[in-house]
């Protein structure tokens, strides 16, 4: 029997992750209190809080737009504020309050959302290319480091992070193609991001051997 510290429940199924929160389980011989607790009320409370927060976010977005219109000086800064509010709302809805999605997909969604928000900020204040040339490669590199740390911390389920590595590889290669077409002069940081992402993925597949290949088969049915 396994025990989830996050949910404080015992899991009788032969699994290494909690079916509720996807946290790594610890093995235990004793039955602890709380076998699959009643979480219906918790979910209703969370949904109510989320709806209230969404309503407050909508009010804040309208207020920002009105203030920006009244004090307009050539910059639509309210777009950045509204995008930040939407990002926070999406984070709460699909990351913190989404119990059905695995944490790997949540991390991937967060990385994509941050990248889109960065590009939007760059375009809003007058596009200068810093978001694509510098910010996005740095975001990918930070994500790669985070993935490596998660794999080392969760050695029992290290193979579950292969999907994240594939995502980072695709994002970095797509960014590299864009820089190759548009601005090859400032593509060095993007090249580093591509190299790190691909090396991590290929290294995981080679070192992981059968478990890595089985994870790829499970994910993509190949």
| pLDDT one-digit tens code per residue, 179-206 | 999 888 888 999 999 999 999 999 988 8
Higher pLDDT among residues 171 and 95, named by residue: 171
User: How far from 181 is each of 126, 176, 185, CA to CA, in Å?
Assistant: 21, 9, 10
C-alpha span between 164 and 18 (Å, rounded): 20
C-alpha span between 199 and 169 (Å, rounded): 9
Q: Is the pLDDT of residue 23 over 90?
A: no
Per-residue model confidence (pLDDT) at position 140: 95
Q: What angle do CA 111, 113, 115 make, to 5 degrees?
A: 70
- Specify the pLDDT at position 34: 45
Contact call for residues 67 and 49 (beta carbons, < 8 A): no
Per DSSP, which regions of the chain are E strands?
2-4, 9-11, 26-27
């Amino acid at each position: 029997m396994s025990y989830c510290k996050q949910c404080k429940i015992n899991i009788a199924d032969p699994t290494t992750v909690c079916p509720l929160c996807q946290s790594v389980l610890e093995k235990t011989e004793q039955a602890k209190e709380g076998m699959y607790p009643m979480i219906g009320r918790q979910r209703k409370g969370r949904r109510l809080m989320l709806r209230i927060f969404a309503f407050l976010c909508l009010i804040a977005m309208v207020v920002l737009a009105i203030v920006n219109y009244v004090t307009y000086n050539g910059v639509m800064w309210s777009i950045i504020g509204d995008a930040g509010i939407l990002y926070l709302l999406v984070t709460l809805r699909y990351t913190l309050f989404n119990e059905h999605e695995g944490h790997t997909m949540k991390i991937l969604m967060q990385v994509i959302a941050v990248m889109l928000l960065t590009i939007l900020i760059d375009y809003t204040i007058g596009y200068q290319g810093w978001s694509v040339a510098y910010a996005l490669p740095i975001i990918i590199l930070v994500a790669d480091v985070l993935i490596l740390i998660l794999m080392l911390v969760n050695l029992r389920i290290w193979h579950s992070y292969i999907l994240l590595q594939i995502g980072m590889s695709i994002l970095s290669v797509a960014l590299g193609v864009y820089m190759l077409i548009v601005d090859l002069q400032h593509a060095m940081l993007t090249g580093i991001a591509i190299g790190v992402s691909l090396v991590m993925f290929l290294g995981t597949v080679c070192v992981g051997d059968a478990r890595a290949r089985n994870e790829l088969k499970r994910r993509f049915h190949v």
